[in-house]
Amino acid sequence: MTSRQAACALERVHAQHRDFRRRLVAISGRFINTPFRLDALGEGPGGTVDRDPLFSLYRVDCQTFVETLVALAHAPRLDLAPRVLSQVRYRDGRVHYKARHHFPTSQWIPLNGRLGVVRDVTATIVPGAKLRVLTVKVGPRSWRGKFRKFARLGSAAPSGVYQLPVLPLDVAIANAHRFPNGALLNTVRVPHRAYPEPISHQGFIAVVNGRRVVRQATQLGKYPRVVEYPLRDYLVRSRAYYRRAPRPMLGVNVQLITESPRLRKLVARELAKQPAARACAQRTGSQRVSKQ
């Protein structure tokens, strides 16, 4: 798909779906089979550490897949999406490696919660279910071993105590039919002092023809890419997969993705400053549609 075709497709999604969550579902479906690449995005050619592109529709990892969905669902024009994406990926939208949200629990979730992008709904999936609340402590001593590269963040590195509610995996499997449409699914692993981040994977929950599915960018399989699985099957497979890992899967954290008033205002300002012709003409009901 060319950039113009992508821009045209995005305009059509926004024209067809006034509801934000429906846009998320429609856009996420278009990413199925998009190639996986770990650390897919960076700070662009001018980056001091990571010079991967600031924005791409052609490669994603599990986190950048979700971030790109959020940006595209807010931006009615493709040229505005990178600006929105920067707000989601960086503190105050300042594009710099040190300002990037590297860690879900201590950076991405709380900061995007303040931005109005996500809202924790873990406790609402199964009312009355006993949750596990993880206490995650991070500080200078966290940046050792495989995480030592983050010591370069200096004072910008996350520091403090963070709470993460977790729905036990067996409860999640038994209640997969209760998960909300348009939610971020975080895979939470058993805590270990050598790992300052308990979340190891992220996916997007969609309701398609009455079925709950998870769409995720995965590096597993012969052709790493964005795939779709029935949600319950995915959770069962995850339990089996992580059972063999040094840190088994503890459960899931669920964040409902919401339309951010701040991002909506940002888009409105940008549209006012940069009026531009649409990438494609919208079809009207009077136009003929070819039959196959």
The set of residues, in sequence order, having a beta carbon less than 8 Å from that of 222 and lying 6+ positions away, is: none
SS3 54: coil
Q: What is the pLDDT of residue 4?
A: 86
Its sign, for the CA torsion 206, 115, 186, 171, is negative
Q: What is the pLDDT of residue 287?
A: 35
């200096």: which residue's tokens? 154
In whole angstroms, what separates CA 85 from the centre of its chain? 11
The set of residues, in sequence order, having a beta carbon less than 8 Å from that of 269 and lying 6+ positions away, is: none
Q: What is the pLDDT of residue 285?
A: 40
Helix, strand counts (H, E) of the chain: 9, 8
Q: What is the pLDDT of residue 124?
A: 97
Round to whole Å and give the CA distance between 118 and 108.
10
Q: What is the pLDDT of residue 196?
A: 92
Listed by start position, the domains of the chain span 3-273
Q: What is the pLDDT of residue 221?
A: 86
Q: What is the pLDDT of residue 2?
A: 76
Q: What is the pLDDT of residue 181?
A: 98
**Which regions of the chain are under pLDDT 50?**
283-292
Q: Which pTM value belongs to this model?
A: 0.91
List, in sequence order, the alpha helices (H) in the chain: 3-16, 20-30, 62-74, 81-89, 109-115, 122-125, 169-174, 231-243, 261-273
Question: 36 has which bridge partners?
Answer: 60
**Which CATH number fits the domain 3-273, given the four candidates 2.30.260.10, 3.40.50.300, 2.20.25.90, 2.60.40.10?**
2.30.260.10
Q: For residue 286, which phi and psi values (nearest 5 degrees)?
A: -80, -10
Whose CA is closest to 54, among 93, 26, 24?
93
